[in-house]
């Protein structure tokens, strides 16, 4: 397996330079993974497939789904891509490389674990600040236009929020200067997590059923259903910050009443 990955990576660095891989390659990878994961949930909602696993009975209209996709493409090309290009010199200065040899799995896993811990901490406080009255009204309310979230709504947000909370995702890699393959793996894992958290479905094999402290769709769906001043559940991937600061009490009470 390692030799296959190294062979594929050799092809990439032979045919593309660092800038192309780090900026355009990262953007293409993000778009591919994000939409391949997110679009099926639009189809599930429209056709009614897997409805017994749907957390809310309410569905979004095709017009609302279309608006989400259109805005996402605009934000991705006009906000995400420029940020990737402008941040490239910072990542290079901090030591990011794409050359061989590839980092060991020990290095990759250690760095990604650090990114998750740091991202969870920063995201929690940033998200909680966005739920203050003024910022919610003028910025974060865009993301909460969808009280019944579906996968693609995970990145539907005001441009200011994209930059503000996006900092939580990139700060770890920015200060460690990882190999590009580590950055790509981190990006894919974050997309997987955030799409799953907003998918609107809770399956028997959902990761939150097996991984302690993992939030998932049921945890985050509760956040979208309530008024901004009472929602709680501000965490990103893991929920320990909400548990420490007691901002998940409403959700825990609901689960207790449901016998879960």
Tens digits of per-residue pLDDT, 100-119?
Answer: 999 999 999 999 999 999 99
Number of H helices, E strands in the chain: 12, 0
Check: CB of residue 215 under 8 Å from CB of residue 138: no
**Amino acid 34: pLDDT:** 98
Q: How far is CA 212 from the centre of its chain?
A: 19
DSSP of 194-213: HHHHTSSB--TT-GGGTSTT
Paired with 97 in beta bridges are 179
Q: Which residue has the tokens 């330079």?
A: 17
**Amino acid 215: pLDDT:** 95
pLDDT tens for residues 48-107? 999 999 999 999 999 999 999 999 999 999 999 999 999 999 999 999 999 999 999 999
Q: Can you list the residues of the chain whose pLDDT is less than 50?
A: none
Q: Is 243 exposed, middle or buried (0-12, 13-18, 19+ CB in 10 A)?
A: middle
**Amino acid 260: pLDDT:** 66
In this prediction the pTM is 0.95
What is the C-alpha to C-alpha distance for residues 166 and 183, in angstroms, rounded to an integer? 14
Helix (H) or strand (E) holding 166: helix 159-176
Q: Most distant CA pair in the chain: distance in Å?
A: 58
């Amino acid at each position: 397996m390692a030799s296959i990955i190294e062979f594929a990576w050799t092809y990439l660095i032979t045919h593309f330079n660092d800038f192309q891989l780090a900026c355009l390659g990262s953007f293409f990878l993000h778009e591919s993974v994000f939409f391949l994961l997110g679009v099926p949930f639009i189809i599930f909602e429209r056709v009614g497939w897997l409805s017994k696993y749907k957390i809310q009975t309410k569905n979004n209209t095709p017009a609302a789904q279309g608006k989400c996709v259109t805005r996402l493409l605009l934000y991705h090309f006009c906000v995400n891509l420029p940020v990737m290009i402008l941040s490239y010199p910072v990542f290079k200065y901090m030591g990011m490389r794409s050359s061989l040899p590839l980092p060991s799995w020990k290095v990759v896993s250690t760095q990604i674990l650090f990114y998750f811990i740091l991202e969870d901490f920063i995201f929690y406080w940033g998200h909680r600040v966005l739920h203050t009255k003024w910022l919610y009204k003028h910025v974060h309310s865009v993301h909460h236009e969808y009280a019944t979230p579906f996968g693609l709504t995970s990145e539907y947000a005001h441009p200011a929020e994209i930059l503000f909370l996006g900092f939580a995702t990139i700060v770890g890699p920015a200060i460690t200067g990882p190999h590009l393959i580590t950055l790509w793996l981190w990006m894919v894992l974050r997309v997987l997590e955030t799409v799953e958290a907003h998918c609107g479905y809770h399956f028997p094999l959902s990761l939150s059923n097996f991984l302690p402290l993992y939030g998932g769709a049921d945890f985050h769906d509760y956040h979208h259903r309530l008024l901004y001043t009472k929602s709680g559940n501000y965490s990103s991937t893991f929920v320990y910050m909400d548990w420490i600061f007691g901002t998940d009490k409403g959700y825990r009470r609901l689960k207790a009443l449901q016998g879960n």
